[in-house]
Amino acid sequence: MIAESVEMTGAHYLDVKLSALLAIVGGVVDMVAGWALLKSTPPMMPITVPLGETNLPTMMPIGESGLVPGYFLLGLGVMVFLTGVYMFYGKMMMHRSRFGLLMIGYGIIMLVLCVGMIGNLFSMMQGSALSGTVMLAVGVAMLYSGSTMARK
């Protein structure tokens, strides 16, 4: 009886540490994808404007379509990373089910973002299919990890 409770405690401890490591990896993936999206969005685009019989080269500001998702991914990455660090140091043992629900929420957000990346919603981002595929794997793992933490 005592050996079973020690084994369960060890299994729970390992589960928490793996979930924390998964959150840290997920946060890093989000931060790298956000940084890459911000770096690949040029603020100005060269164009030529017809002026009479000549063409005048000039710069045209382009939309901020890549900035909002880039900053969102960067912010999400920081939140997920800090949650993982907080979990890794064992501060969440009293609120395990809340952290499980938080991990489920992060996993859902990552799955929505990966669909956008794989579907070229962020087409200006280089390697968005690769980032989306990694986010898919981490998002599914976060859903699984969060569901096991929320149950216990």
Tens of pLDDT, residue by residue over 11-54, are 667 777 888 888 898 889 889 888 887 777 566 656 666 666 66
- Give the rounded distance of the alpha carbon of 140 from its chain centre: 12
The C-alpha atoms of residue 149 and residue 12 are separated, in whole angstroms, by 9
Helices (H), 45-127: 67-88, 96-118
Mean of the pLDDT values across residues 131-143?
85
Tens of pLDDT, residue by residue over 69-119, are 788 889 999 998 998 888 877 666 666 778 888 889 988 988 888 887 777
pLDDT at 7: 43
Q: Lowest mean pLDDT: which of 57-66, 80-89, 131-140?
A: 57-66
Token look-up 């603020």 returns: 43
Query: At 8, is the pLDDT very low, low, confident or very high (cuts 50, 70, 90)?
Result: very low
The C-alpha atoms of residue 136 and residue 80 are separated, in whole angstroms, by 15
Give the orientation angle of helix 96-118 with respect to helix 2-39, to 10 degrees.
40
